[in-house]
Structure 1
Amino acid sequence: MTTWNLPTFASPFADLPIDPVAGNWTREVLGAIASNVLPTPVSAPHLLAWSKPVANTLGFSDALVQSDVFLQPFSGNQLWPGMMPLASNYGGHQFGHWAGQLGDGRAISLGVITAGDGSRQELQLKGAGPTPYSRGSDGRAVLRSSLREYLCSEAMHHLGVPTTRALSLIRTGDAVVRDMLYDGHPAPEPGAIVCRVAPSFIRFGHFELPARRGDTALLEALLRLTLRQHFPQWQDQPWESCLPIWFAEVAERTAVLIAHWMRVGFVHGVMNTDNLSILGLTIDYGPYGWLEEVDPAWTPNTTDAFGKRYCYGRQPEIAHWNLYCLAQALAPLLDDPEALQFGLKRYAEVFTETHRKFTLGKLGLPMQADLDAWLAELFRLLAADRVDFTRFFRSLMTLNPARAATEPAYWREHLDAHRYQPDQSTIQHEAWQAWLQQYLVLQDSVDPLAARASIQQHNPKFVFRNYLAQQAIDAATAGDMEPLGRLQHVLQNPYAEQPDAEDLTALRPDWASRKPGCSMLSCSS
């Protein structure tokens, strides 16, 4: 019999108060950061996919992950010794309105381990059954949403975007009933569980809830624990000196995160305050999407279709608003809450600088000022002529400047290769030529090899497009895991040329513009 070297688990919340009520029913939980809760067993767990890089980081061998010893706890059927499952308690602003207590309604933490690389990592099951925070839900997740979270979190990591990770995707063998578009047509779907991995899953909403309740003792204890675990350089300093500095770092990390989202064309879709990480990680992959044709007002979330609060172009603004909500939660701990304004200012400064640097990098240009109007004109043209975001910027690697400057037909053909429904009668040729001429002038002062390297560094060739996700979901639902495995392999090297995967860079097919899961997504899972 094989003897496995299993990790030692600790609670992510150490000595913070835990809900003393043992029962697992939906309720308001006061004075506690989390509730103890066991995962609900499933009937026929089957490992569909796993991330070897994450497993290696954790110190899990290939043989362990592919064994029943792994399958049972990570499907929620049993626990390894020392695992201490719990669901955490937090609140949040949803679509701009205070929603009260929310909590982990379908996420159950298994505990924190010291990974093979020495890092602190929390392992969390998503879709493992109800918790006291499920608010009437079953706590389960369906295969389509689980596959999307599993693949996208790993794809984002390889894109260089700060994110939670995904260790495994397990099919449960049980059906889960969901009304995908909230249109009165519920249907059974295959269930699945994702194991998410991160140094911490603490969100802005963890601080908002005790602050709203006036529970200053819990708020202070949570902040002390957060500093001790993740920002030890400030853990022993008084609030008045360390809290504004810590908040400013959270703001800066958030600014860099949003700049990365904008760089790769990612739209989170549901930027509630309970979905923003204090570590500046992308967290909670729900109704997200990727820009195809450029549209600053595009949102993948059907719930947000009218208000477009969380559309691509508003993500920087919403992140700032969410930070303001976090500042309000922290304010009771300070004699001078105005000191938190520094963090909000730093967010604006860091985002502006980083976003400009990334955008110019996407064009192969060095950092420089006074180009904001020219950059804005580029995005206006891209949107007006329905140009694919990812393909256009990546294509600048192969653009021939001499031909572009002297052959209008060459530039038109270049654009048309990346446009949806190209129509020469609508393209804004004169405006494009004016923009192009300035671009070529700017390029003249840059070494061509450096420009090409910058374009490749900032512009992925492969992203997890919505229609690719749906194709993988459809295949996996039918029992075919090859598309998922192929996508996972290709998305591990998104900036590399992969000639045998050129089909994965294609413009969105016409059928995908109308198919649920490609053009229409909801929070349903």
Structure 2
Amino acid sequence: MTKELPADPIKENVRRQVKESCFSYVKPKKPGNPFLLHTSPEMIGALGLSDADSSSKDFLEVFTGSQILPKTNPYAMCYGGHQFGNWAGQLGDGRAINLAEIEHDDKRWALQLKGAGETPYSRSADGLAVLRSSIREYLCSEAMHHLGVPTTRALSLALSGDQVLRDVMYDGNPAYEKGAIVTRVAPSFLRFGSYEIFSARGDKKTLKTLVDYTIRNHYSHLGKPSKKAYVNFLKEVAIKSLKMVIHWQRVGFVHGVINTDNMSILGLTIDYGPYGWLEGYDHGWTPNTTDRANKRYRYGAQPQIVLWNLFQLANALYPLIEQAEPLETILKEYQEELDAAHLAMMRSKLGLQLENNSDIMLIEVLEKMMQRSETDMTIFFRNLANLEKGAYENWFPVVKKAFYRPEEIRDRIKEEWFDWFKNYAERLSLEKLGDNQRKIEMNKVNPKYVLRNYMAQLAIDEADKGSYGLIEELFVLLKKPYDEQPGKEKWFAKRPEWARHKVGCSMLSCSS
């Protein structure tokens, strides 16, 4: 990247507006007393490293910022973005520093430290990260991958040995926390905002340079850069983004802050900040305290927010294309394909392989019932696979554990649930698969284990006390989210009542 894109000519690491440049060279801050907590064996192998490498002193020092790899020059990327619907101007890597790019097995990987110190884009922040948010990012990056969700990856999690001052809930009560550093890995960390910043500034030259670079290195099958290639570039990004957000909806993941600077140009889930997993099925839920009032990034709105962000990317690319019609067509196609993709996803969760006109109503009624009765999404769909279509009268024992207050499932509500299960059984009777095979297929798309908010918080609480075993336990558990994993059933359970309103379990902030 640094060989093909314009660099910030100013070498001094001071906060400033960076013009006509895609990145700034900057060195990580040396941590006080770094200590490696965990590494991902998969990513160790993907990068061509060995177990011996990951346990070496050099590994620790490189991936905590203590040592710079030979013949490399770390850098922070420049980008802008729309935050909560408003243009925020220059943002950039305020606490992320790219170490290098490597190639292994015909794959290119960018290595990035999160929490390694300030950069020209840090604004009023210190560029550091705390253990709390770093555990959440590390675990979730790898968990999402094994769920089949497009995502950036995580290589390592380490303590910096420094104390970092943070106001967790932005309520005027700052406190010192353990500092930490996560090594993030992705083919590229380019975002929608990487293009927006140059378009907003009227810097068509740098915009073209960046888009051409992106096509050559990440969308080379589109051919040489041209107006046609630019249009097809947007179309491919739209397709990838739609695939990503449909996976979010499938597993109940809520990103929490889908600003345009948090949208990967490769359709990867990026920037794990105030994310959360649906406990009770609720289209209106967001985990982000900053978004509590307007709920812009609530679960049910995520696909439309991705479309809104694609509209901003289309605006950013317009100066290179100078035609609105092909861009508008792509955005319209996204909306049309979204409806079909969501329906197909929900059919798969219900074990329906054949298309039927009644499915839309069946799904809509189910979603209303699940929200009305406070129903755990993960448990409901996983246990629904155990229903025998010829014995729908016994529906309640099958899904009882999914209800937070099963005693409320009575009278009129119970009758409505019975009616739904009767209709569902009739719909299943049209399918060719038997109960056993249907269960196998449903269990491929309905995970048994996800990184519930309280699970991550338990790992954080233990880590704060100096115990890190739960990080490993959850890491291993979440590598096989669709398997039964006998002996691990304690993690296949509803959110405990103590976690309903606990900070870190019900609501989170962008503080990291």
TM band (smaller chain): over 0.9
Alignment of 1:44-443 (within 5 A): 44-115=33-104, 117-239=105-227, 241-370=228-357, 371-405=359-393, 410-422=394-406, 423-425=408-410, 428-443=413-428
Q: Is the 8 A contact 1:365 1:454 kept in 2?
A: no
1:402 to partner: Cα distance:
3.0
Structure 1 counterpart of 2:97, which letter? I
Q: Is the 8 A contact 2:369 2:417 kept in 1?
A: yes
How many residue pairs get aligned? The number is 508
Q: Is the 8 A contact 2:74 2:97 kept in 1?
A: yes
Q: Is the 8 A contact 2:384 2:398 kept in 1?
A: no
Determine helix, strand or coil for the equivalent of 1:428: helix
Q: Write the distance in 1 (CA, Å) between the matches of 2:19 and 2:352.
A: 53
Structure 1 counterpart of 2:212, which letter? R
- Residue in structure 2 matching 1:14, options 3, 26, 43: 3
Q: Write the distance in 2 (CA, Å) between the matches of 1:412 and 1:335.
A: 58
Determine helix, strand or coil for the equivalent of 1:463: coil
Q: Write the distance in 2 (CA, Å) between the matches of 1:367 and 1:104.
A: 46
Q: Is the 8 A contact 2:95 2:114 kept in 1?
A: yes
Q: Write the distance in 1 (CA, Å) between the matches of 2:28 and 2:428.
A: 57
Alignment correspondent of 1:5? none
When the two structures are superposed, what TM-score results if normalisation uses the length of structure 1?
A: 0.95
Structure 1 counterpart of 2:419, which letter? A
Q: Write the distance in 2 (CA, Å) between the matches of 1:86 and 1:62.
A: 27
Alignment of 1:504-515 (within 5 A): 504-515=491-502
Alignment correspondent of 2:429? 444
Determine helix, strand or coil for the equivalent of 2:297: coil
Determine helix, strand or coil for the equivalent of 1:500: coil
Q: Write the distance in 2 (CA, Å) between the matches of 1:421 and 1:403.
A: 24
Q: Write the distance in 2 (CA, Å) between the matches of 1:109 and 1:367.
A: 47
Determine helix, strand or coil for the equivalent of 1:169: strand
Gaps of 5+ in 1: 1-11
When the two structures are superposed, what TM-score results if normalisation uses the length of structure 2?
A: 0.97
1:341 to partner: Cα distance:
1.4
1:399 to partner: Cα distance:
1.9
1:292 to partner: Cα distance:
0.4
Q: Write the distance in 2 (CA, Å) between the matches of 1:335 and 1:98.
A: 22
Structure 2 counterpart of 1:114, which letter? E
Q: Is the 8 A contact 2:373 2:409 kept in 1?
A: no
Alignment of 1:24-39 (within 5 A): 24-39=13-28
Q: Is the 8 A contact 1:91 1:100 kept in 2?
A: yes
Q: Write the distance in 2 (CA, Å) between the matches of 1:367 and 1:482.
A: 45
Moved more, 344-353 or 428-437: 344-353
Q: Write the distance in 2 (CA, Å) between the matches of 1:64 and 1:311.
A: 42
Q: Percent identity?
A: 48
1:420-461 residue CA offsets vs partner (Å, 9 max, x unmatched) = 122234771222122111211121132123311221111000
Q: Is the 8 A contact 2:231 2:326 kept in 1?
A: yes
Alignment of 1:456-495 (within 5 A): 456-495=443-482
Q: Is the 8 A contact 2:212 2:225 kept in 1?
A: no
User: What is the CA RMSD across the aligned residues, in angstroms?
Assistant: 1.2
Q: Write the distance in 2 (CA, Å) between the matches of 1:427 and 1:157.
A: 41
| Residues 426 and 235 of structure 1, relative CA distance in 2, 3 Å threshold | farther
Gaps of 5+ in 2: none
